[in-house]
A and B are shown apart, each in its own frame.
Chain A
């Protein structure tokens, strides 16, 4: 199916075929809300169970309590969930509405008219100003650049909407047709997609091709499946256990318990608390990025405690660890290395001299730097030239060339002017052979207007350029240069050129034009045609561009690694570059502490053997305190994942660190999937569109709202401004959330079991008939008020201060291993509730025996006992008391009496006058104090004993923190940091190093490791193998060049 877009044609027959530009992210409509929401709520097992119980309770013969007390909370809880959904949906509706009613300018018959975004139709011409949000997918017709706007009629033939944001193979026909150019090919480069922002041009206008929910973005939106945290899973398991227990009780004692209501109440309070965790992340001033003005945001409010349980972090490199700000640092021109001493080639006197003396090699090198790109020069008013570039690397190169006096001065149409030492040279750009991630190079064909000679100028990755070098050229030096630069963590590009014969070009040009307008497999066809021109190149040299590490990256990684989190780097970059970046950001340790194992091979067999070797080494060394990491590239990974999944999985489990280079977005997602399948909690962090799949796949997706747009941040559960905020996100927010949820959920079980046990005990003295000791109102209030409010403020509880956690990230282990919520801690709470139930029950029935054994009074004594005990349990389990906690705990206790006094004044209630009678009796108060003393004494004693004599790490740190002194004496912290800085300095790419020492590949420095893992293979070999798979199927993400 093809879609025909008639530009600017009001009467077009197809206009009504396509939807309007109304976007809708809503889940519900007014009409389907109730049924759909109810359906969703009841599709969960828990809710079905509750409904079943509620229905059973309608049968008055078997129910101990009033059905209203069952249906009331049920309806309340459902209403809360539904309101939350409705509110979310309403907010979505509002944001949709805002987007839909945004003002856009539509060009009709040459006039701009304001209109609402939702009224844009397919075929309309939309006019945008700089920083406007793009309302729908547009094919760009013109921008503020000199070509100007023209009045167009025509038709665009394009494929049906799909979600591939990297492909748009379409053709444009203009009316009336131009003679020699009736079909004009369009690609994704000619489009701007919905929700992007227009930058770098004053205005642009374009034809709407996809609108509303049919845009590329709309199609790829989809609702990601809800994520369940590990803790939720554990809580559900424990709830299941409680249900089984309850079922046994029901069968044995014939009493329908009341636990289920508490469980529902727990769900509500957990939801509440979790959204507060998320808010704390949003509110965190320390995670506010000053530079971009973006605060952190938790888009998924339900999974904060999972942050504390992260075991693997999969990180992207460019833009995530690095700033994605490119600076030209070094180059190698015809065998001469520039910039080694100063770390900056632009300041290298030799290069400056070479430029001044007009060395032809250098001039040509600079020419390629200046011309071979898609950078647009813009003259500013004060005469300076500004560059607007799509690729950061290209901009860096052009800037550098300009500093070396080779200024790309202007581009107008296909005429391009460069100025070298004030002499202007004009080139005619004939063709651009664009960069693709498969080709890994781009070329331009230009005609020198001075002598009409035609040149092909190419630049690209070394393994993409060097094989195309002319047979006679020695590429060894260049190869070495590229490797050396990669060693320093620099991004390398090779520059090359060739003079073309006029007839060779003309012949090729025809093929190229034909290939460019095919609709089927266009990319592949073009690549093939391009390859026919890109051969016998004369390689001029290598450039090296630095992508600086973001602030705080090494410290963050170091800290999180100490916290026991394993790091995997998944990057599209070169292996050497990746390894160097990994070294400089503490990802891997340098020799001799660290050791790198490489999985490599050109064929399947080789990969297999290398994988086995690495696995063997890994097994041997896993017991040693060594930092072993494996390195794998996309090709080997493809094979390993396909044919040796089991071995690779084992390797993945054994290895704490891995570097995967040259991987595609889908491989990133596969790796995440692999670790998830081994039951690890994974966190994926990235910044670009190529990380979106990995982010969505991982248990927790974190997006960096960085320079590559917001795609990743939008897809992610959490978005942060800088990588360094990750440590705060995990160590502070994740950890607190985990601790708080652990307490909250277990406490909820405790308090509901407490009541449940008392009911069971009571059934033994009531003829096992299932009489409820407590009346329905009290039970409801117990769950909803008395026990929920004090515990809700535990969201403010901090077991350790943030500073202590940052100093001892190892403490995160408690969260990762689920130390605070697991069957054994749960058993502790279970035992505690049993003990307390016994205390409350025995004391209240004995103290209120004989003439005092009136039912309502005994019930109220027992209930008061529970309330008092739970208040003290909260106190004993709270680590830090803020005003709010005191308010909630004591206020709740007072509230309990006030509520009951109020209820006691209502003559029709069963509790009429009960509370007043009790409060005036000394025996009541004496009983309550006895319950508190007998209930809390042993708990305090056990807690104290464990706290003092078998303290957990958390306890030790608490003591250290709060007693002041010794916390700073933890000697190894500071030295470690210092030594870390030293390492960074030593590895820093700006530090000049003698060539020989730099040249040694990292792997060869570990003779034993190398020998073990590679046998006799030369350690250097693996760097070169990529060249052979240029045309291989895997593609590289486009942002690396």
Chain B
């Protein structure tokens, strides 16, 4: 029996894996050729030759310097009158305890006199500038209810507004810390005896008036809690018309910021003295915040800000400097690119 078995067993074992003649497999297994699958897509392979790099730097400086000059001119063209008044508007005898003064109910009207250094063309924007005011603080930023501002039906949607959400169990409209801390200093301007009209219309974003603040939402319970944060609102006007609030609710990213107060729509001449009658109501004294009044014209680049111009000139100048340096280095110490003698294994064959 064992001999009988020999033949089939060995041939079966031959079948068992180590088959000699592998059956011809179909060639369909051959991968399909395409430039993508073979990683052979035509490619442009730039290298950093001195020519390219130096001309790139030259080009950048050629572009940047004029832009810098233009930006700087634009910024210089802007006429800006800044008046810091938070201390000046407190009577000298009250300056030891400014917080008590501002919280008292005495008359806080104060008059400031500004001189126009250069002719200012209308429109002249009136800004108030606050300093050290962290509108970007996390808990402050979040303390608002966009739903409530938008529609009357979500009046009670105040869950995000703590701690300024409810008063005596009813919802505050508009709720939240941001609205509660509404800026409420007032300015009125006169040139000589002529009073200058301040246009406070359209100082907020149109999109905000139309889509973020509802025209059927009216202030309710506002500033009626224990602690008064800032300005009050006219309860008969819908939120979409409360432009000061809308402006204020656009939180600033920086602790120093300006917000639009209004526009003066007449030109101011050089040397004009402007009398500002100022209602100093807003309490920045408890956190040592500064208050400034800013009158400014505007350019194509916005307000007065030399930063862009200077930065452009600096970058452009640096690029020029680098380009010149590279040219000098290239001339002084030329180096052949791709010299195979830099390959260590060409110097000592077999070495790693």
Chain A residues whose CB sits within 8 angstroms of the CB of B146 once the complex forms: 908
Residue of A nearest to B37 (CB): A283
Residue of B nearest to A193 (CB): B16
Contact A280 B37 (CB under 8 A): yes
Contact A882 B43 (CB under 8 A): yes
Contact B27 A293 (CB under 8 A): yes
Chain A residues whose CB sits within 8 angstroms of the CB of B16 once the complex forms: 191-193, 196
Partner of A190, one of B5, B20, B53, B137: B5
Contact B41 A883 (CB under 8 A): yes
Q: Please measure, in the bound complex, the distance between the C-alpha atom of A513 and the C-alpha atom of B1, giving whole angstroms.
A: 11
Write out, one digit per residue, whether chain B residues 13-26 have a CB within 8 A of any chain A CB (1) or not (0).
11111111111111
Q: Which of A893-914 contact B (CB under 8 A)?
A: 907-908, 912-913
Q: Given A882-B41, A948-B48, do A850 and B258 touch, yes or no (CB 8 Å)? A: yes
Q: Which of A171-212 contact B (CB under 8 A)?
A: 178, 181, 184-185, 189-193, 196-201, 204, 206
Say whether B2 faces chain A, with CB atoms less than 8 Å apart.
Answer: yes
Say whether A114 faces chain B, with CB atoms less than 8 Å apart.
Answer: no
Chain B residues whose CB sits within 8 angstroms of the CB of A146 once the complex forms: 7
Contact B41 A930 (CB under 8 A): no
Chain A residues whose CB sits within 8 angstroms of the CB of B258 once the complex forms: 850-851, 853
Contact A853 B1 (CB under 8 A): no
Contact A283 B338 (CB under 8 A): no
Question: Which of A25-33, A221-229, A572-580, A936-944 faces chain B?
Answer: A936-944
Contact A767 B48 (CB under 8 A): no
Q: Given A204-B15, A934-B315, do A429 and B3 touch, yes or no (CB 8 Å)? A: yes
Say whether B123 faces chain A, with CB atoms less than 8 Å apart.
Answer: no
Chain A residues whose CB sits within 8 angstroms of the CB of B37 once the complex forms: 279-280, 283-285
Contact A808 B136 (CB under 8 A): no
Contact B47 A958 (CB under 8 A): yes
Chain B residues whose CB sits within 8 angstroms of the CB of A282 once the complex forms: 31
Say whether A612 faces chain B, with CB atoms less than 8 Å apart.
Answer: no
Contact B346 A708 (CB under 8 A): no
Say whether A822 faces chain B, with CB atoms less than 8 Å apart.
Answer: no
Q: Please measure, in the bound complex, the distance between the C-alpha atom of A846 and the C-alpha atom of B310, giving whole angstroms.
A: 11
Question: Which of A73-81, A96-104, A949-957, A983-991 faces chain B?
Answer: A949-957
Contact A960 B340 (CB under 8 A): yes
Contact A771 B137 (CB under 8 A): yes
Contact A944 B48 (CB under 8 A): yes
Write out, one digit per residue, whether chain A residues 767-793 have a CB within 8 A of any chain B CB (1) or not (0).
101110100000000000000000000
Residue of A nearest to B50 (CB): A948
| Count of residues in B whose CB is under 8 Å from the partner chain | 109
Contact A937 B315 (CB under 8 A): yes
Contact A937 B6 (CB under 8 A): no
Q: Please measure, in the bound complex, the distance between the C-alpha atom of A796 and the C-alpha atom of B37, giving whole angstroms.
A: 10
Contact B56 A145 (CB under 8 A): no
Q: Given A185-B2, A197-B19, do A921 and B45 touch, yes or no (CB 8 Å)? A: no
Q: Please measure, in the bound complex, the distance between the C-alpha atom of A770 and the C-alpha atom of B137, giving whole angstroms.
A: 8
Chain B residues whose CB sits within 8 angstroms of the CB of A707 once the complex forms: 18-20, 22
Q: Please measure, in the bound complex, the distance between the C-alpha atom of A333 and the C-alpha atom of B344, giving whole angstroms.
A: 54
Partner of B3, one of A196, A200, A414, A953: A414
Q: Given A190-B9, A960-B338, A963-B47, do A288 and B322 touch, yes or no (CB 8 Å)? A: no
Chain A residues whose CB sits within 8 angstroms of the CB of B57 once the complex forms: 937, 940-941
Q: Given A140-B12, A976-B349, do A769 and B254 touch, yes or no (CB 8 Å)? A: no
Say whether A873 faces chain B, with CB atoms less than 8 Å apart.
Answer: no
Chain A residues whose CB sits within 8 angstroms of the CB of B211 once the complex forms: 907, 912
Chain A residues whose CB sits within 8 angstroms of the CB of B350 once the complex forms: 562, 625
Partner of A192, one of B12, B31, B39, B339: B12
Contact A847 B308 (CB under 8 A): yes
B57 to chain A, nearest CB (A): 7
Contact A881 B10 (CB under 8 A): no
Write out, one digit per residue, whether chain B residues 331-352 have a CB within 8 A of any chain A CB (1) or not (0).
0010101111011111011111
Q: Given A196-B15, A414-B6, A959-B337, do A922 and B205 touch, yes or no (CB 8 Å)? A: no
Say whether A668 faces chain B, with CB atoms less than 8 Å apart.
Answer: no
Partner of A937, one of B10, B38, B141, B319: B319
Q: Please measure, in the bound complex, the distance between the C-alpha atom of A1035 and the C-alpha atom of B218, giving whole angstroms.
A: 95
Contact B251 A855 (CB under 8 A): yes
Partner of B18, one of A708, A851, A853, A958: A708
Chain A residues whose CB sits within 8 angstroms of the CB of B207 once the complex forms: 907, 912-913
Q: Which of A991-1015 contact B (CB under 8 A)?
A: none
Chain A residues whose CB sits within 8 angstroms of the CB of B14 once the complex forms: 199-201, 376, 388-390
Chain B residues whose CB sits within 8 angstroms of the CB of A711 once the complex forms: 17
Q: Please measure, in the bound complex, the distance between the C-alpha atom of A970 and the C-alpha atom of B345, giving whole angstroms.
A: 11
Say whether B194 faces chain A, with CB atoms less than 8 Å apart.
Answer: no
Contact B318 A880 (CB under 8 A): no
Contact B343 A765 (CB under 8 A): no
Q: Please measure, in the bound complex, the distance between the C-alpha atom of A966 and the C-alpha atom of B343, giving whole angstroms.
A: 12
Q: Please measure, in the bound complex, the distance between the C-alpha atom of A575 and the C-alpha atom of B348, giving whole angstroms.
A: 32
Partner of B254, one of A845, A934, A961: A845
Residue of B nearest to A883 (CB): B41
Partner of B41, one of A189, A796, A937: A796
Chain A residues whose CB sits within 8 angstroms of the CB of B13 once the complex forms: 189, 192, 390
Q: Please measure, in the bound complex, the distance between the C-alpha atom of A431 and the C-alpha atom of B3, giving whole angstroms.
A: 7
Residue of A nearest to B60 (CB): A933
Chain A residues whose CB sits within 8 angstroms of the CB of B6 once the complex forms: 374, 414, 429, 432
Contact A880 B45 (CB under 8 A): yes
Q: Which of B46-63 contact A (CB under 8 A)?
A: 46-50, 53, 56-57, 60
Say whether B216 faces chain A, with CB atoms less than 8 Å apart.
Answer: no
Say whether A322 faces chain B, with CB atoms less than 8 Å apart.
Answer: no
Partner of A850, one of B4, B12, B129, B351: B129
Say whether B263 faces chain A, with CB atoms less than 8 Å apart.
Answer: no
Q: Given A199-B21, A771-B136, do A808 and B343 touch, yes or no (CB 8 Å)? A: yes
Say whether B282 faces chain A, with CB atoms less than 8 Å apart.
Answer: no
Chain B residues whose CB sits within 8 angstroms of the CB of A976 once the complex forms: 349
Partner of A922, one of B19, B22, B256, B301: B301
Contact A858 B253 (CB under 8 A): yes
Say whether A83 faces chain B, with CB atoms less than 8 Å apart.
Answer: no
Contact A853 B253 (CB under 8 A): yes
Chain A residues whose CB sits within 8 angstroms of the CB of B338 once the complex forms: 956-963, 965-967
Residue of B nearest to A861 (CB): B253
A748 to chain B, nearest CB (A): 22
Contact A948 B340 (CB under 8 A): no
Say whether A35 faces chain B, with CB atoms less than 8 Å apart.
Answer: no
Say whether A766 faces chain B, with CB atoms less than 8 Å apart.
Answer: yes
Residue of B nearest to A198 (CB): B15
B37 to chain A, nearest CB (A): 4
Q: Which of B291-305 contact A (CB under 8 A)?
A: 300-303, 305
Q: Given A280-B37, A957-B338, do A390 and B22 touch, yes or no (CB 8 Å)? A: no
- Residue pairs across A and B with Cβ atoms less than 8 A apart, 30 shown, are A145-B11, A184-B1, A185-B2, A191-B12, A204-B15, A285-B31, A294-B29, A295-B30, A392-B20, A413-B3, A414-B6, A625-B350, A707-B18, A707-B20, A736-B39, A796-B43, A798-B39, A810-B343, A810-B352, A847-B307, A851-B260, A854-B250, A859-B253, A930-B312, A940-B56, A948-B335, A962-B46, A963-B49, A963-B337, A970-B343
Residues of B near any A CB (own CB < 8 A): 1-27, 29-33, 37-39, 41-50, 53, 56-57, 60, 64, 67, 71, 125, 127, 129, 134-139, 141, 146, 205, 207, 211-212, 250-260, 300-303, 305, 307-308, 311-312, 315, 318-319, 322, 326, 329, 333, 335, 337-340, 342-346, 348-352
Residues of A near any B CB (own CB < 8 A): 64, 131, 140-143, 145-147, 178, 181, 184-185, 189-193, 196-201, 204, 206, 279-280, 282-286, 288, 292-295, 374, 376, 388-390, 392, 395, 411-414, 429-432, 513, 516, 562, 564, 625, 689, 707-709, 711, 736, 762, 765-767, 769-771, 773, 796, 798, 808, 810, 813, 843, 845-855, 857-859, 879-885, 907-908, 912-913, 917, 921-923, 926-927, 929-930, 933-934, 937, 940-941, 943-944, 947-949, 951, 953, 956-963, 965-967, 969-970, 972, 976, 1039
The 9 closest A-B pairs by CB, nearest first: A959-B338, A960-B338, A199-B19, A283-B37, A709-B17, A880-B43, A959-B337, A858-B253, A414-B3
